[in-house]
Amino acid sequence: MARNPLKDQVAVVGVGSTAYGRDQQRSLLSLGVEAALKAMADAGIDRRGIDGICGSGMSPLAVGNAGFLSVQGALGIEKVTWGKNGWLGSAFVFAVEAVFSGLCDTCLVVQSYRREVNMSRSAARDPFRLRASRFGETGGMGGRDFARRWLHSGEPYAAWMKRYMHDYGVGKDAFGLMAVNNRSHGARNPDAVIQRAITLDDYHASRMVWEPMQMLDMDIPVDGAEAFVITTAERARDLRQKPVTVHAMSLGGTRVGEFYENTLPWTENAFWVAMEGLWARSDLTRTDVDLFYPYDGYTIDAVAVVEAAGFCKPGEAGDYFRDCWDRRENILRLNGGRTLVTTGGGGLAHGRSGGSNLYAEAVRQLRGSQGERQARHADSALITIGSMYHDPSAVLLRAGERR
């Protein structure tokens, strides 16, 4: 076992979400502020009760984007003792670290996402998005030096699908069944942007984008935001919501980092590093997981997380998913039927939010507040967000206070 002094010491006490939509005609900041206000109201904490803030954004130039500085300013939070930008799954992890270490007591996490110009044909035609994009190219993919870069971030993931299929002698059923599962859950989620369920045949018939990757392997670009209020487990006792406790966390990293052509072998990619780090710090094991949220920016990410978490052996996800398939509901049920995967529909159905909606859905399920969509078993949730190539997070949450 690795050290894990933060085990069960920090809790999520507030969650807030905007509607998701393809064109909300709103800025990242406006979306982020709405989600933040909802999360604070949900927690019963006003702006004077927030002393730490973590905002989303790949840009170090936080002002103008929904980084922590602009969010703090818009909310009128006069002073914080800790602030930081983060994205994907790491923003949540950073906030828990800050609360646990004492750099702040009650931290706001705000993540806003927008359908950017490179994400769809109609988005590319939108002059507003085109202009906005010129000011956003301070990180990530997109440099024009092709010695380093693929033309689009989807291409290396598609190429990895090809290599996975070659190495393990399998077709695309693992990817397809993951897509069907998420769309089935999305069909039950009134907040999902795409509420039409699909069959495996629909998946295989969908438009080819970067062969072998198809349209239904990709998340749905939308405008939307999520926010969370995170504080100590001790403080959570006095607050209005049933706390959701952070049991263990890990951030994975490998030397190849962002360089997408520096492909590591499948079982050495960053998800394996994150999952090993998580299990080494957790009292729970894979079979204790009730709810599982593997990041689904591309279906190959989700399949990699399933295998990295140890639900099946490398290359066997397709067969495993068939064994776990609930034919009546058209969803996955892992661990002998108990474990649901990506309730809410994730990026493939609810909408693309860098995985922040996976955290939000997990928190609400663990509170038991999801009504008709509430999972029967909801004591623990494993959320793994990020990329096979860079900064994946693995977080294990538990329902209620743990003493």
Partner 1 sequence: MRDVVPFSPPAEVDFDAGTRPYWEALREGALSIQRCAHCHAFRTPPSRYCPHCRSTEDEWPRLSGRARLYTYTIVALDRRDAEGPVYVAGLACPEEAPDTKVFCNIVDCTLDQIVIDMPLELVATEAGTDAARFRPAPATAQGGR
Please state whether beta strands 106-113 and 52-56 pair in parallel, antiparallel, or not at all (unpaired).
Answer: parallel
Q: Kindly state whether residue 1 participates in binding partner 1, applying the rule CB under 8 A.
A: no
Select from 68, 87, 160, 311 the one that contacts partner 1 (CB under 8 A).
160
Provide the sign of the torsion angle of the four alpha carbons 18, 24, 29, 34, taken in this order: negative
The separation between CA 142 and the C-alpha centre of its own chain, rounded to angstroms, equals: 22
The residue within the footprint of partner 1, chosen from 64, 212, 310, 400 (CB under 8 A), is 212
- Contact string 249-288 vs partner 1 (x = CB under 8 A): ------x---x-xxx-------------------------
Q: Which residue's CB is nearer to partner 1, number 151 or number 280?
A: 151
Among 102, 139, 143, 337, binds partner 1 (CB under 8 A): 143
Give the residue among 368, 16, 385, 43 at the shortest CA–CA distance from 231.
43
Q: Is 145 in the site for partner 1 (CB under 8 A)?
A: yes
The correct pick among 110, 123, 159, 358 for binding partner 1 (CB under 8 A) is 159
In this chain, which of 3, 5, 79, 146 binds partner 1, going by CB under 8 A? 146
State which residue, 261 or 326, has the beta carbon closest to partner 1.
261
Identify the three-state secondary structure at position 385: strand
Residue 92 or 298 with smaller CB distance to partner 1: 298
The CB-of-260 to partner 1 minimum distance in angstroms stands at: 8
Instruction: Determine contact, residues 164/306, Cβ cutoff 8 Å.
Output: no
Between residues 74 and 165, which has the closer beta carbon with respect to partner 1? 165
Strand 325-326 to 331-334 pairing:
antiparallel
Query: How near is the Cβ of 240 to partner 1 at its closest, in Å?
Result: 49
- Give me the least distance between CB of 213 and partner 1, in Å please: 7
CA-nearest of 325, 313, 316, 112 to 226 is 112
Distance in angstroms (rounded) separating the CA atoms of residues 273 and 84 = 24
Judged by CB under 8 A, the residue of 148, 204, 240, 322 near partner 1 is 148
Packed helices 299-308 and 270-279: angle between N→C axes, nearest 10 degrees:
40
The length of the chain in residues reads 403
Query: How many Cβ atoms from other residues are within 10 Å of residue 309's Cβ?
Result: 22
Does the footprint of partner 1 cover residue 377 (CB under 8 A)? no
Rounded to the nearest 5°, which phi and psi values hold at 223?
Answer: -100, 130
Question: Is residue 150 at the binding interface for partner 1, with CB under 8 A as the rule?
Answer: yes
Q: Which is nearer to partner 1, 69 or 300 (CB)?
A: 300
Strand ranges in 233-336 using DSSP code E only, listed in sequence order = 244-251, 291-294, 325-326, 331-334
Q: Which stretch binds partner 1 (CB under 8 A): 138-146, 244-252, 281-289, 301-309?
A: 138-146
For position 378 contacting partner 1 by CB under 8 A, the verdict is no
Residue 208 makes contact with partner 1 by CB under 8 A: yes
Instruction: Single out the segment in contact with partner 1 by CB under 8 A; choices: 16-24, 33-41, 162-170, 336-344.
Output: 162-170
162 lies in the binding site for partner 1 (CB under 8 A): yes
Sole window of 122-130, 156-164, 178-186, 357-365 interacting with partner 1 (rule: CB under 8 A): 156-164
Q: How many residues bind partner 1 (CB under 8 A)?
A: 28
**Minimum Å distance from CB 262 to partner 1?**
7
Which region, left, alpha or beta, applies to residue 280 given φ > 0 means left and ψ of -120 to 50 means alpha?
A: alpha
- H/E stretch holding 305 reads helix 299-308
Give least dist CB 154 to partner 1, A. Answer: 8
User: What tokens were used for 231?
Assistant: 């504080």
Q: Which two tokens stand for residue 306?
A: 């399933």
The C-alpha atoms of residue 153 and residue 136 are separated, in whole angstroms, by 16
Q: Per CB under 8 A, which region of 110-118, 149-157, 191-199, 275-283 contacts partner 1? A: 149-157
User: Could you say which of 48, 163, 196, 240 contacts partner 1 (CB under 8 A)?
Assistant: 163
Candidate segments 14-22, 61-69, 207-215, 275-283, binder of partner 1 by CB under 8 A: 207-215
Contact 363, 331 (CB under 8 A): no
Q: How far is CA 216 from CA 98, 145, 250, 317, in A?
A: 37, 29, 29, 18
Contacts of 261 (CB under 8 A, 6+ apart): 148, 150, 156
Which residues contact partner 1 (rule: CB under 8 A)? 143-151, 155, 158-160, 162-163, 166, 207-213, 255, 259, 261-263
